[in-house]
Structure 1
Amino acid sequence: MLISSLILMIGCSNVTTESDTPSNSTNNLEPITFTYNENEYKIVNFYQEFSQYIKEAEKHPDNLDTLYIDTVLEPFTKSVFGEDYGEFISKQWGFGTPTRPKILEEYLLYLNENNNKINDLIIDALKKSTDELSSEDDKVVYILLASPDDVTKMKWLKGVTGMTWDQNVITIQIAPPFLDEDILKFVVAHEYQHAVFFEKNEIGTNATVLEEVMLEGKADTFAQIMYPEVVTPWNDFSTKSQEENTWSYLEKNLNSINASIKDDLFYGNSSKGIPDTSNYKMGNKIMDSFIQENPSISIEEWTEMSADEILEKSKYEAKNQE
């Protein structure tokens, strides 16, 4: 399950009486729990663990990797999985050791001071998403600090990145200097759709290239439906030739499970004319075509559809052969 989840870096309305908005807690650093549409949602911040890392980093600047695993990643993975996967997680993008604790402390100060606002944005996105796509399982959203070492990427991502670990657990990492509140809600909706998909489906390292492309295409499409005014930097091609090159490459490798091909689509490959995040871009294009061709199919239905069926019903392949 852990390895499967690391592949990820958006129905019918079912409104019931909701609990009081929980953001008025007297202690804004306590976990927040609320019930909505018969499911329990929890928002948990890991600020205390980051605070401990910052204190230890100042005392032992030559031992940052071990400190970060011990103070942040190990407690996180034990909380989520019941086991210590800290060292494994530390090798994944976004979870590497922050080497600038002073800047990290500034991040932490901002999130502490704005915790109620962050919680409200996440709560709003969860409720809005649940109204459109019902869930069968409870959800926990963990809020972590992004690393100042990833400043270039986090600026491009507008201060937010997320990951869905399974049907229950989502992480949101925030870089306050670049935080776009609308993007935060968009990312929460995107990750929520992943979590609902995982309630009935599994995807692992043996997933095909097409399955991974459509996984992201579905999530981004859902988030775009929730927040049509939000423009993200990762979901569209700059030129038609980029789209054509990417489709040609994908078409030849639809059923491949080769990691290097998946990397080409995620990280880009300039020699092949493929831009980065092409798995998102291509997934969005196929989903756009699918919805145009099948407007009566609900979000809940297409969430459950296989990648092969989505591609077939989208007629994207046929359109690109004309």
Structure 2
Amino acid sequence: MHPDTNQPFQIVNAHKLYNEFIDKASQEQQQEKIKELYENMIIEPVYDMCFEDGEYLYMVDFILNEAPSNFKNLEKLIEDIETENINEAIIDALNKSSKLLSTEIETTVCVFPTVEEDVPAMVNVGSGKIIALYNEFYSEEEFKASIAHEYHHSVWTEKFFQPEDTSTVLDNLVFEGKAVVFERLVYPESSYTIPIYPSYILVFWEMIEPDLYKEDLERSLEILIGSGNLPYLYGYSEGYKMVKSYLDKNPDLKPIEWLGRSADEIIEEGEYLSNYR
């Protein structure tokens, strides 16, 4: 619990469940048996704390329904995980995040190990639920900043998510842009994994502008990660610059005040489109 705000936090070290699972799963030949062990020994014990009632459960389908297979590398990773250091980093990130943006619910961070290359580093499952997929490449700075990023998503979801609402590509860019801005407010001196491209390159903008008002999650993800000819994580960079332009014109706003501002309001009041005209 944060000593100043009295906001409750919870850490679930799910990685501690894996050694016994690996011992038993390594003896099985049938994938169905391995999946059953995974569900019973890893997912079921933590489901209520880490996943239940998550607004974005579809984002963690790969965790819930895909048992790991690279047991040797996974076992080595788990041996190298320093639980105390991880917990200290999580507490630091949650404490600093909650001082800038408070929440009325408990925030739970669940730590799972991963040796896969094509999975996100962290996922917000919904209000009060953050999944940290720990891998061997994490630095402490990156880990903390990522927690702050997902914490922002968690609080936004708690306060503004409506199941019937739909999101455009622009909404999703601004949604991620807000979280990038927030993580940099929490850790202003940190090094980051999200590159921010300072130039306004018209050729890239023209690739995404026709899609901005489409309700298309797949296209949103393509732009965010930088698919095709777009730069790496281009959508995160554009989203960040949209929000930053807005905040430069409204420097006295606190995070709770711009948390729920619409994407249209962000780019219009920030005069963002003028950068491409």
Q: Which amino acid aligns with 1:167?
A: S
The 1:149/1:163 distance shift into structure 2, 3 A limit, reads closer
- 1:50-107: CA deviation from partner (whole Å, max 9, x where unpaired): 2232112211144244443443234443444458xxx977753898432211111111
Q: Distance in 2 between matches of 1:34 and 1:296?
A: 25
1:291-302 to 2 correspondences below 5 Å: 291-302=247-258
The 1:188/1:57 distance shift into structure 2, 3 A limit, reads same
Q: Which residue of 2 aligns with 1:254?
A: 212
Q: Distance in 2 between matches of 1:110 and 1:296?
A: 44
Residue 47 of structure 1 deviates from its aligned partner by 2.4
Secondary structure of the 2:237 match is helix
1:136 has 2:88 as partner: no
Q: With the length of structure 2 as denominator, give the TM-score of the two structures.
A: 0.86
Residue 251 of structure 1 deviates from its aligned partner by 2.7
1:184 has 2:149 as partner: no
Q: Distance in 1 between matches of 2:186 and 2:111?
A: 21
1:1-322 to 2 correspondences below 5 Å: 37-63=5-31, 64-82=34-52, 91-92=61-62, 96-111=66-81, 114-146=82-114, 148-150=115-117, 161-175=121-135, 177-202=136-161, 206-237=166-197, 240-241=200-201, 244-270=202-228, 273-321=229-277
Residue 217 of structure 1 deviates from its aligned partner by 0.5
- 1:168-215: CA deviation from partner (whole Å, max 9, x where unpaired): 11111111x312001111011111111111121116683111111111
Q: Distance in 1 between matches of 2:240 and 2:258?
A: 13
Q: Distance in 2 between matches of 1:219 and 1:233?
A: 13
Q: Distance in 2 between matches of 1:34 and 1:292?
A: 30
Residue 116 of structure 1 deviates from its aligned partner by 1.1
The 1:311/1:95 distance shift into structure 2, 3 A limit, reads farther
Q: Distance in 1 between matches of 2:105 and 2:258?
A: 19
Query: What's the C-alpha RMSD, in Å, of the aligned pairs?
Result: 2.8
* Structure 1 gaps, min length 5: 1-32, 155-159
Q: With the length of structure 1 as denominator, give the TM-score of the two structures.
A: 0.75
Identity fraction in percent: 26
* Structure 2 gaps, min length 5: none
Residue 281 of structure 1 deviates from its aligned partner by 1.4
